[in-house]
Structure 1
Amino acid sequence: MAAAVAQNSAPVQKKQEAEKTESLWKDVWYSLRQNIPAMVSLGVITLLALVAIVTFVAPQILPYDPYQQDLSASFQGPSAAHWFGTDQQGRDIFCRVLIGSQISLTVGLLSVAISLTIGVALGALAGYKGGVLDTVIMRVMDMMLAIPSILLAIAFMAALGRGIDKAIIAIGFVSIPEYARIVRSQVLSVKQSDYVAAARVIGDSDALIIFRHVLPNVMPSIIVRATLGISSAILDAAALGFLGLGVQPPAAEWGDMLGRGRNYIFAAPHAMIFPGLAITVTVLAFNLLGDGIRDAFDPKSRNR
């Protein structure tokens, strides 16, 4: 009898869920549009993404070859010819900053994709299954969180070697515990819902329940954390580049440019200033956008 009632009510509940979800996203987008800092940040991020795509597809549009050395033009200050000046090897810093957006955004997006995929899977399993599996997974996550992420990333880079692919793996791996803990805490509350109980009664498998009913309801927290995680990943990549553990020269990466320019901070401060500004603006944009998305998902903020 209970199974028959659950089967009859399941389509109604699914329809109500779909309508509620559609209404939620409309409210979130409306609230986000009212947040001026978040929308400006979204515009900055969109511009950076366009710059990265265009310079990757058609690098010839740049006024200078970002890898072409000209020692006779080293350490020229900002001018009409070189907007951001030149570095110690005479390369145009403006072009190198633009090219560097490719590496920073790639590291940010791919490392977050790695940590998001693994962290969400582990957190969902731990929260939904509970018991010994939950204990084992979360104790491993706690041990990883006990070590500062940048130190753990440096340890991985020391073991894996230098390179953009190694940096993506290292940064992605050290961020897994954050996503796992967030998803687990959300799943623990969602799995007690009536629609999850109804799905169990009608015989849905655990995997189907997790992907169809549980994860869509924890998606807001995941989206907010992923947006903020991209800024953290970009900052970690810059830190690794600054320490000489990131990309291989002569690749243009903001952290590496910042690290090399620090030796000439008094003779040619522009060699540090502009890569540093690129990092600051990008990280700030992702942080403000993440804060805006978090506020948009908060009903109290939408009602203010």
Structure 2
Amino acid sequence: MEDKPFDTSAAAAAEPLEKPESQIREMWDALKSNKGALVGLGIILFLIFVAVFGHWLMPYDPNLSDMGASFLPPGPEHWFGTDQLGRDIFSRIIYGTHISLTVGLSAVAISLTAGIILGAVAGYRGGKTDTVIMRFMDMMLAIPSILLAIAFMAALGKGLDKAVIAIGLVSIPEYARIVRGCILSVKENDYVQAARVVGNRDGRIIFKHIMPNILSSIVVRATLGISTAVLDTSALGFLGLGVQPPYAEWGDMLGRARGFIFSAPYTLIFPGIAITITVLAFNLLGDGLRDALDPKSRQL
């Protein structure tokens, strides 16, 4: 195959087909017309506010026990009632918001970073490198994520930081496969070939010319991944492997209240509602982003 002569037009063709700024503008214009996505975004912004300023919103210390006030039903003093140790459930749910969002965002940051690197290397390099990386990812995907997270927790130990690592690790294959597939679909496009001709290195081609054009798929999956991370955090907490007492976490609250489902059902109802609303909000936003970033949807 003959070398292509250097052409200044190749440098122009090496630029991404669409600037990230224009993608964000079009995405926002499309997102504004999706009521479900706006509801999800509004809930998420509210949850972030609660997580950041929750210590000013909590009427009681979420970890302070008062056995004389145990199992008080919802009322003016304790809006969501108290648990078996007399702790205010409303304050504990506010505290749990900070933990759930922290774990969700941190875990997605870990899995997203590792998944982008592995998927980019596998998709761009191909050959044996692709085979080795993706077969390892397939082995991880063959095991249910919650079981794999439990296995990591057994190896790492209990605690919030261990839960972040475990949940982040189990989600890496999903991001790696998405990034690999997207890169395979665009790496032979003209602007990528032009970037090679003008002498760009592989790393620059991947992160400057390819990534901006596959960003939409990654953003959508990351948004939905936060809801999955919140669920996994709650599952680990329910099993006693996540945040350890006396700190409040929604899954741990459910696990400790399951014995009082008939005598004090509010001890389960409110943490369950918190988990449901959070997961639903991220799913609504993720679905809205998927529709907004899909060119076919924008043309309908």
Normalization by structure 2: what TM-score?
Answer: 0.96
Provide the rounded CA distance (Å) in 2 between the counterparts of 1:78 and 1:15: 57
Provide the rounded CA distance (Å) in 2 between the counterparts of 1:23 and 1:101: 34
8 Å contact from structure 2 (residues 291, 298) kept in 1:
yes
* Equivalent residue for 1:89, pick from 80, 85, 93: 85
The Cα of 1:300 is off from its aligned counterpart by 2.1
* Equivalent residue for 2:100, pick from 101, 104, 113: 104
Aligned to 1:10: 11
Higher helix proportion, which one?
1
8 Å contact from structure 1 (residues 3, 202) kept in 2:
no
Q: What amino acid sits opposite 1:8 in the alignment?
A: S
Aligned to 2:128: 132
Aligned to 2:142: 146
Provide the rounded CA distance (Å) in 2 between the counterparts of 1:15 and 1:99: 43
The Cα of 1:77 is off from its aligned counterpart by 0.6
Aligned to 2:36: 37
Question: Does residue 181 of structure 2 align to residue 188 of structure 1?
Answer: no
- Matched position secondary structure for 1:197: helix
Q: What amino acid sits opposite 1:33 in the alignment?
A: K
Identity of aligned residues (%): 64
* Equivalent residue for 1:77, pick from 62, 73, 76: 73
8 Å contact from structure 1 (residues 44, 285) kept in 2:
yes
Structure 1 segments, 4+ long, off by >4 Å, are none
The Cα of 1:159 is off from its aligned counterpart by 1.1
Residues 194 and 120 from structure 1, CA distance in 2 versus in 1: closer, same or farther, beyond 3 angstroms?
A: same
Provide the rounded CA distance (Å) in 2 between the counterparts of 1:17 and 1:234: 33
Q: How many residues align?
A: 298
Structure 1 regions of 5+ residues with no counterpart?
none
User: Which deviates the most, 61-70 or 118-127?
Assistant: 61-70
The Cα of 1:14 is off from its aligned counterpart by 2.6
- Matched position secondary structure for 1:4: coil
Provide the rounded CA distance (Å) in 2 between the counterparts of 1:147 and 1:227: 23
8 Å contact from structure 2 (residues 10, 195) kept in 1:
no
Provide the rounded CA distance (Å) in 1 between the counterparts of 2:61 and 2:25: 45
Q: 1:1-304 to 2 correspondence within 5 Å?
A: 2-5=4-7, 7-11=8-12, 14=15, 17-18=18-19, 21-55=20-54, 59-304=55-300
RMSD: 1.3
